[in-house]
Amino acid sequence: MLTIGMLGGMSWESSAEYYRLANVLVRERVGGLHSAKIVLLSVDFAEIERMQVEGRWDDAGKALAEAATGVQAAGADFLLICTNTMHKVFDQVQAAVDIPVIHLGDTTAEAIKNAGLTTVGLLGTGFTMDQPFYRERLESHGLRVLLPSPQDRATVHRIIYDELCLGIVRDESRRAYQDVIARFDGAEGIILGCTEIELLIGQADVPLPVFPTTRLHVEAAVERAVL
């Protein structure tokens, strides 16, 4: 079994889900007392979030690249960046290590295409929705990506940072997300494009097919790890 590297802490709430899912999926795949071989390095999200807000993406990239070298040195065979937003600095992280970094956007796009869909709505942080780095990765796979209105984007972002990243899960916020999804025009499915969103809503809450990026990312990792 290969060792999965995880660059986490952004936030730790979703990184805990990465860790849990990896072990659950390995146990389902292999059985018995088997669990995933994982190297997890968790950064201080407050430092990264400050860089995000201040637009210091190069500094954030350097911080994650340095952390990634530590994950590699600890024995990881490949690496997951356990956050959608910080895939903005994916190239910096990949350039810093010799092991493969599995891009979350690629695993998500593959699942959407396997479902036979071409047009999807994207939910995520304001950075993920407003900036082109994530949409362009999905669009490179031939997908059409729709965004919520600016007002809805602000609502989605606020709930992520003010609630989900702090472990707060509210029914009122779930209904707010459902309302945002209902306002998508032409979407065939919905990308849950922030790792914390899966703490709030799932397929049972949405009439359209949903694509939970955390689970899809971890599934790809376990597929690679279990030889």
CA distances from residue 35 to 6, 40, 99, 225 in whole angstroms, order as listed: 15, 14, 22, 11
Residue 194 annotated to the active site: yes
List 83, 107, 128, 214, catalytic entry:
83
* Distance (Å, whole) CA 206 – CA 6: 29
Question: Residue 148 half-sphere exposure, CB side, CA atoms within 13 Å?
Answer: 27
* Distance (Å, whole) CA 110 – CA 80: 16
List 128, 165, 194, 214, catalytic entry:
194
Residue 82 annotated to the active site: no
CB-based contact 15:42 (threshold 8 Å): yes
Catalytically active residues are: 83, 194
